[in-house]
Amino acid sequence: MNFEEYAAKKEVLMPAGVPIPRGRLCKTAPEAAHAFDEIGPCVIKAQVPTGKRGKAGGIKSADRAKDAEARAAEILGMSIDGHVVETVLVEERAEIAREFYAAVLHDVASRKPLVLFSAEGGMDIEEVTATRPAALRRLAVELTQGLEPQAVRLLLRGLDLDGAEEKIAEILQALYRAAVTYDAELLEINPLALLRDGRIVALDCKLTLDDAAAFRLGDLPLLAAREKQTELEQLGSANGLKFIQLDGNVGVLANGAGLTMTTMDVISHFGGRPANFLEIGGEAYTKAEPALKLVLSNPGVRSLVVNFCGAFARTDVMADGVVKAWQSLNPTIPVFFSIHGTGEEEAVNLVRDRLGIEPYALMEDAVKAAVEAAR
């Protein structure tokens, strides 16, 4: 789950002891004017979970209350990378002397948390990595040991940090602790700014928390940014199904993530376009009926592939669900089955006897037929 800038700063950085600028979250332009009266010269920032805010015109500066109101009015309601701006952060304008970069993320290769620091901040970290790889310092941390002060000193050694070494070391340790405490997949401060008055503050923060850890994060997940989802995708989530709507016309109902992706790939291979991703493996294997409803509700769908390969999931249980759902929904589009694995014989008989449809012996043949039918 992703968080907007202000939620990340206020709920995670601040409690961890990382300084943030004064700011107020506003839902209307007049609120922004009031916030200006409190804060003074400020920056008004669209609160959306994407990194493309600046370029899209979602970040603007104001020197007077009237400007703050006008800029907020411009930004509110904007659409940035598909997200509609519903709130803006009115934040004190920092007098920046220098910008750094700091982050903690999961390192898949070493299977450890990785602390990143660069004496150059403000731009895409991919750019820093590409143009000046030596500028980016990295440290994989042993969870059982934690981030030790000596390790931080070593990480920062040889960098000219304008006397801010101590403060930065403290911030890196606070950042690491916060990442572990809140199960962050990514906790990034960019830029971490050294101000003219010598303070160091987190000017922007990107936070992604581990969905799998939601059970131990208290109320924090409630503050996560809403995912961009279509109505059908929301309906899928509400039913506990992972449904992704695509712009094709061949519906997909399969079990297991790998097999579902492959079904989509084979549809494309034969010149068709998949209409959705929908996984009904694992514990969801009894949910064939709501799953089928979801696939058929997608207005683009003109044919359907049902591809089951049962390992853990039983194909007879899934097929029974599909057959019942098919009979009750009575759709007009053609359906093509490929059924293999656990419970195969019963499942094939079920489809043959109750729907009068002969499942294909090869998945590719079922897909080919469905692609033809959708033309």
Single residue of 49, 121, 281, 321 touching another protein by CB under 8 A: 281
Minimum CB separation of residue 259 from another protein in Å reads 4
Minimum CB separation of residue 144 from another protein in Å reads 6
Residue 120 to residue 123: CA distance in whole angstroms? 8
Comparing C-alpha atoms, which of 100, 314, 287, 70 is closest to residue 190? 100
Using an 8 Å Cβ cutoff, are 185 and 217 in contact?
no
Residue 285 to residue 276: CA distance in whole angstroms? 17
- What 8-state DSSP symbol labels residue 77? T
Minimum CB separation of residue 340 from another protein in Å reads 5
Size of the chain in residues = 375
Using an 8 Å Cβ cutoff, are 246 and 271 in contact?
no
Residue 152 to residue 154: CA distance in whole angstroms? 5
Single residue of 256, 290, 321, 359 touching another protein by CB under 8 A: 256
Single residue of 126, 160, 219, 231 touching another protein by CB under 8 A: 126
> What's the helix, strand, coil split of the chain in %, to 5?
40, 25, 35
Minimum CB separation of residue 62 from another protein in Å reads 33
282 binds another protein (CB under 8 A): yes
- What 8-state DSSP symbol labels residue 281? -
- Of 41-49, 194-202, 250-258, 347-355, the window that binds another protein (rule: CB under 8 A) is 250-258
Taking residues 24 to 53 in sequence order and writing x for each that binds another protein by CB under 8 A, - otherwise, the string is ------------------------------
Residue 71, Cα to own-chain centre: how many angstroms? 28
Residue 137 to residue 151: CA distance in whole angstroms? 12
Taking residues 334 to 353 in sequence order and writing x for each that binds another protein by CB under 8 A, - otherwise, the string is ------xxx-x---------
Residue with Cβ nearer another protein (23 or 310) = 310
Residue 208 to residue 230: CA distance in whole angstroms? 21
106 binds another protein (CB under 8 A): yes
279 binds another protein (CB under 8 A): yes
- Give the binding site for another protein (CB under 8 A): 106, 108-109, 111-113, 126, 142-144, 180, 183, 185, 210-213, 215-216, 242, 244, 246, 254-262, 264-269, 274, 277, 279, 281-282, 309-313, 340-342, 344, 362-364
